[in-house]
Structure 1
């Protein structure tokens, strides 16, 4: 554990001191210092988020975005994982891959607070590692650093309401931290890059998810670009202030600072340990609702449903939109999630296809969903519960509940399930990718020492 020196009393100075301690630790961290289970977690996050990028390859808006970025791209130096062999400059590739990574809602997340730390690091790292000649080992070390810093910054500022979306407000910080680590910046340079990046964040409103504004999907891509540039600009002497994190998150965004979160347990309590992985292609706040619904599907004929009622946690109650206009809105609509899970018997990508938005039977079922409060709300990790009741055509009522969805540290998925999910996504567009990713998940020494550019060539052949 890192024991800090005596801390100043005001929150801004404590945030500055915390970042200094955090970046000293990060700059000194060697791959060999990372415990084996955390290395495995880093590889799993990398592979899972790469698969999430591939999953979005056929989204029409994303295809248009890629074509637009290609028109202004510089020399091709990094791969866009769209199944078409597209290569752009590292900044453009990071932007497109970052925008793809959250499109299907299959990326991993950080369970302790509202944060997807891997998503905020992986797109920039994929591009930078391929363009720079870094090895897979270098990439995983940098991801471990970036994930730790992004997770701790997320914990260091709290909000009582769902106002800001973390994809906009945190992605640039994760990208800057991880790219700083990959480029081997000093502790002082890394701190400056992070302070610079936080001034380049997007104040994305959380309600854009529920309302289905597709610009939300681009926020991680913008963050990847901004994080890369923050590192570039720091090395040119263009930086923020040491107090910039406090200026942005506490003063401008009105977050409550918790400076101790930047350093408490550093080197012992790894943020990667608190990550979760998704099997359902929708907001994680609704995964407990999906699991309760699947338990009902296993014992009741869903065609006899007359009404659906859910009691759930306060974040889940924000997912209230009975008429989602876009696929993003559907993934953040509790009504659509419950109705589609009942109809399809799963909450995979098919349940949120564009055609489901106007399907008459689903539209009718969405209107039959009511949402209430699960009270009292349990403590973490059961703080995202759901109790789902189906009222059947004969008046019978059947209920199932789930206190905590599978995939998090309290109910982890079996590694074989994550691998099956990944192979199910990548095998068709990239027949060679699955075997390469399996070796990466196994931390194959030869693969770790290979350049990431060569690994990408093999994966995409």
Structure 2
């Protein structure tokens, strides 16, 4: 497909999304949008005590302009919208508890929300408008991710996609004209980050800041496009296909618009690590119901390629631990779960976990099924008497095929937000219930109510 075809496809997509109003969005999609907003907001809050996040946000505070938008760190910070988007965006993926898009590699919610929430608070937009813009931004960046697929895990989507999601969401919130929105998305595509996928696996914390940088970029792209500073309509093809070497299928940008919504294909996490290892954790928890971890002398994983690429038996940072299949298997066995405690910095140096990490071997899961069972794992434990036990999980819970119940995610959110923001729980419940009063309230007023102790 040519660059011209991609430009035409993008025009079709934006012509549709620019005409979408709240009344056009089905009720189940609205509920999904509220769940994504609340879940990703909780993910931002979950990172508030990380020392690097504290240092980063304190540094941003020194250069921030007039206070326009809240930083969700329970420390009373309010920055200019660009700085707030940066600060919240860097926190959004830090704890690895943010929502993701299941059909391709894309965390569309955290690509849209840091810029979107900062813009909405600064501009006095209603919560309903925030959710509408989230649906549109999510739809746009997820379709871009589907239209341009990488043959392997070379570039991390947080770098290569997030600015596009931010630009699309902010453009939708501002209700920019079609040509300006196309320009903003195209400009953002030329300013994405070529973040290597090896970086999180090898422990580089710079990966966590990519969504924050992209949130700022998306805001600026929308600003500048309105001034006439725009990328070419062919930019998506020029960057992703020509420069990054993806395959291109522009039909994905417009096929089925309005019939299915990308945000409905998202997944949620209760385990604080890369989703590629969630099946390993679930299978491990099943094994722990049968024997104690003290009897384990060897761990073997038959698993999918994306999990096998997370090969780092000696992670030295929390991000490396969250992207180490050896640590995922070992810490889940010791802790009996995959929550935040299992991936804290302390776990990097626990002798029992370190020993188990070096007893983990991997092999391909064969034959590999089609989606949604394309990320399976069989965990086999060798016990101290030479016998073996195995458990297989074909698809981890949380995706559209095996979703968590609304109450499970609601409880997860409440568990995170309760201690730092006691008043936030009731407001979150009203948003999740799509309460008319909550939806019609301005987002800046909602945020102030959330932060009231």
TM surpasses 0.5: yes
Task: Tell me if 1:32 matches 2:3.
Answer: no
Q: Which 4+ stretches in 1 moved above 2 angstroms? A: none
Q: Which residue of 2 aligns with 1:373?
A: 364
Q: Which residue of 2 aligns with 1:151?
A: 142
Q: Which residue of 1 aligns with 2:325?
A: 334
- Contact 1:250–1:256, Cα closer than 8 Å, also in 2: yes
Q: Which residue of 2 aligns with 1:244?
A: 235
Partners of 1:398 and 1:181 lie apart in 2 by 52
Q: Which runs of 5+ in 2 are unaligned?
A: none
Shift of 1:355: 1.0
Q: What secondary structure sits across from 1:410 in the alignment? A: coil
Task: Tell me if 1:178 matches 2:175.
Answer: no
Task: Tell me if 1:318 matches 2:309.
Answer: yes
Where do 1:359-370 residues align within 5 Å? 359-370=350-361
Q: Which residue of 2 aligns with 1:5?
A: none
Q: Which runs of 5+ in 1 are unaligned?
A: 1-9
**Residue deviations 1:107-153 (CA, integer Å, cap 9, x gap):** 00000000000010011111000000000000000000000001000
The match for 1:233 among 198, 214, 224 is 224
Partners of 1:299 and 1:359 lie apart in 2 by 24
Q: What secondary structure sits across from 1:390 in the alignment? A: strand
**Residue deviations 1:1-22 (CA, integer Å, cap 9, x gap):** xxxxxxxxx4211111111011
Shift of 1:438: 0.6
The match for 2:343 among 352, 369, 382 is 352
Partners of 1:265 and 1:26 lie apart in 2 by 12
The match for 1:207 among 198, 215, 218 is 198
Partners of 2:86 and 2:23 lie apart in 1 by 31
Q: Which residue of 1 aligns with 2:55?
A: 64
- Contact 1:11–1:259, Cα closer than 8 Å, also in 2: no
Choose 29-38 or 232-241, whichever is displaced more: 232-241
The match for 2:293 among 283, 292, 302 is 302
Q: Which residue of 2 aligns with 1:15?
A: 6
Partners of 1:246 and 1:160 lie apart in 2 by 16
Task: Tell me if 1:129 matches 2:120.
Answer: yes
Task: Tell me if 1:447 matches 2:441.
Answer: no
- Contact 1:46–1:122, Cα closer than 8 Å, also in 2: yes
Q: What secondary structure sits across from 1:141 in the alignment? A: helix
Partners of 2:177 and 2:288 lie apart in 1 by 55
- Contact 1:390–1:399, Cα closer than 8 Å, also in 2: yes
**Residue deviations 1:15-48 (CA, integer Å, cap 9, x gap):** 1111101111111100010000000000000000
Partners of 1:320 and 1:268 lie apart in 2 by 40
Shift of 1:302: 1.2
Q: Which residue of 2 aligns with 1:7?
A: none
Q: What TM-score results when the alignment is normalised by the length of structure 1?
A: 0.97
- Contact 1:105–1:283, Cα closer than 8 Å, also in 2: yes
Shift of 1:237: 1.3
Q: Which residue of 1 aligns with 2:154?
A: 163
Task: Tell me if 1:111 matches 2:102.
Answer: yes
Q: Which residue of 2 aligns with 1:255?
A: 246
The match for 1:272 among 263, 266, 287 is 263
Q: What secondary structure sits across from 1:384 in the alignment? A: coil
How many residue pairs get aligned? The number is 452
Q: Which residue of 2 aligns with 1:394?
A: 385
Where do 1:76-87 residues align within 5 Å? 76-87=67-78
Q: What secondary structure sits across from 1:37 in the alignment? A: helix
Task: Tell me if 1:290 matches 2:305.
Answer: no
Q: What TM-score results when the alignment is normalised by the length of structure 2?
A: 0.99
Q: What secondary structure sits across from 2:161 in the alignment? A: helix
Partners of 2:2 and 2:402 lie apart in 1 by 35
Partners of 2:177 and 2:34 lie apart in 1 by 24
Q: Which residue of 2 aligns with 1:222?
A: 213
Shift of 1:414: 0.5
| CA RMSD between the two structures | 0.6
Partners of 2:175 and 2:18 lie apart in 1 by 7
**Residue deviations 1:331-383 (CA, integer Å, cap 9, x gap):** 00010000000000001111111111111111111001111110110010000
Q: Which residue of 2 aligns with 1:4?
A: none
Q: What secondary structure sits across from 2:72 in the alignment? A: coil
Task: Tell me if 1:429 matches 2:420.
Answer: yes
